[in-house]
């Protein structure tokens, strides 16, 4: 059996895969088993920040592999400590909990918020308000946090204690007034919900409401974080400072890592035994993440902004395209043709793009060369107008 036949027989059928078997790549170009070349505008769903087979990242990971690949969290390791310091230095957060995925990072944030609410206001202060069209993970608790009913089907009962509201000041204020709220959890750009950036007015109102009611702000930066927005983290575009920041995906560069950054209010909520992870802070993953993070500098962030301007200018108002939303290099394109048809046709034409609800989603590597980006976007334009 070939790889596709093996997968269909032995891998749980949880993914609607395209008939493409990727075998190699370099940068923003990948090749399938037949030698066909693809321009990658998906980067493994915002994971491969510097593309495929990035030499600096490989060197950092390999160097650590030749030292030791794992030790339990009963001991110290240099990559873990250095990564935590760099994250705190660059965000102003106080300390960090490491896990293995965005969902786990969000679970940790929820635990921290509920512990804070219990300590400050009593054990019934446990509600987490999230936004409709949000997505926070696939564990039972992060599914409960996700503000999309479609993800809740078949998995009831979900973890209680979550309220979903519209991303309007009025609806958020109502949710806070009617519940004993420990935290508001939000994505600056709701990716799986349709690549929907939050309005500045709403973010300002959310921050003011949280401050006046001693409610924590949790920024879910799993997808938009790590330079993808044109700033190191998406919330930085709005001039607010959350109490907790979660991230994953792009900071790992291809290895699994989840990060929960804790601010001043919550830096001491966890004591020994209240949270843990076997692989959290793995030295190989942290070595790779250190390499990614130290390379997300002002020069790269300015390039992200320039590439974003190019995509918006090329696609906005183009034939067959109804709207373009998003921020930085996290962009949603509403096409007149069904998004799935556009994605399939792009792949047939050698360009990998994604979907987000009824939109085509673009998540290219942050350092994608302009000529490859231009070629990929022009292919998308041709496909959309056919």
**3-state SS, residue 220:** strand
Give the model's pLDDT for residue 132: 98
* Tens-digit pLDDT profile for residues 117-132: 999 999 999 999 999 9
State yes or no: pLDDT of 101 exceeds 90.
yes
Mean pLDDT of 233-261: 98
User: φ, ψ for residue 52 (rounded to 5)?
Assistant: -90, 140
> Mean of the per-residue pLDDT values for the chain?
97
**pLDDT grade, residue 212 (50/70/90)?**
very high
DSSP-assigned letter for residue 134: -
259 close to 87: Cβ distance less than 8 angstroms? yes
Dihedral, 107, 113, 115, 118 alpha carbons, nearest 10: -140
* Residue 382: band (very low, low, confident or very high) from pLDDT cuts 50, 70, 90: very high
Give the mean pLDDT of 341-347: 98
Percent of the chain residues past pLDDT 90, beyond the cut = 99
pLDDT the model gives residue 226: 98
What are the φ and ψ backbone dihedral angles of 372, each rounded to 5 degrees? -70, -40
Give the pLDDT of residue 103: 98
**Is residue 1 pLDDT above 90, yes or no?**
no
Cα separation of 327 and 236, whole Å?
A: 12
Confidence of residue 50 (pLDDT cuts 50, 70, 90): very high
- DSSP three-state, residue 90: helix
Q: Does the pLDDT at position 386 exceed 90? A: no
pLDDT single digits (tens) 148-159 = 999 999 999 999
Classify burial at 45, counting beta carbons within 10 Å of its beta carbon; exposed 0-12, middle 13-18, buried 19 or more: middle
The SS3 of residue 100 is coil
Instruction: Enter the tokens of residue 304.
Output: 């992200």
Model confidence at 284: pLDDT above 90: yes
């Amino acid at each position: 059996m070939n790889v596709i036949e093996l997968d269909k027989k032995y891998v749980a059928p949880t993914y609607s895969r395209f008939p493409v078997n990727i075998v190699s790549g370099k940068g923003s170009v990948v090749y399938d088993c037949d030698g066909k070349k693809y321009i990658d505008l998906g980067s493994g769903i915002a994971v491969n920040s510097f593309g495929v087979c990035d030499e600096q990242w490989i060197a950092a990971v390999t160097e650590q592999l030749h030292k030791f690949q794992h030790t339990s969290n009963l001991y110290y390791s240099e990559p873990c400590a250095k990564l935590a310091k760099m994250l705190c230095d660059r965000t102003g957060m106080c300390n960090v909990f490491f896990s293995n995925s965005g969902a786990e990072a969000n679970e940790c944030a929820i635990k921290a918020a509920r512990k804070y609410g219990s300590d400050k206001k009593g054990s019934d202060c446990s509600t987490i308000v999230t936004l409709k069209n949000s997505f926070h993970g696939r564990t039972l608790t992060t599914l409960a946090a996700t503000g999309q009913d479609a993800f809740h089907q078949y998995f009831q009962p979900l973890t209680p204690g979550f309220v979903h509201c519209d991303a309007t000041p009025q609806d958020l204020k109502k949710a806070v007034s009617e519940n004993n709220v420990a935290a508001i959890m939000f994505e600056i750009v709701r990716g799986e919900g349709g690549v929907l950036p939050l309005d500045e007015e709403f973010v300002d109102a959310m921050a003011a409401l949280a401050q006046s009611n001693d409610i924590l702000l949790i920024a879910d930066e799993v997808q938009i974080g790590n330079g993808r927005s044109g700033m190191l983290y998406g919330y930085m575009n709005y001039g607010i400072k959350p109490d907790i920041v979660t991230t994953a995906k792009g900071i790992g560069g291809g290895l699994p890592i989840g990060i929960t950054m804790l601010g001043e209010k919550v830096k001491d909520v966890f004591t020994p035994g209240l949270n843990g992870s076997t692989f959290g802070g793995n030295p190989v993953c942290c070595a790779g993440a250190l390499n990614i993070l130290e390379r997300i500098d002002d020069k790269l962030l300015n390039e992200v902004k320039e590439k974003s301007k190019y995509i918006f200018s090329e696609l906005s108002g183009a034939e067959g395209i109804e709207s373009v939303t998003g921020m930085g290099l996290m962009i949603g394109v509403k096409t007149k043709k069904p998004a799935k048809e556009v994605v399939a046709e792009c792949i047939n034409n050698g360009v990998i793009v994604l979907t987000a609800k009824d939109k085509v989603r673009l998540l290219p590597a942050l350092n994608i060369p302009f000529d490859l980006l231009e070629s990929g976007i022009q292919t998308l334009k041709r496909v959309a107008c056919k």
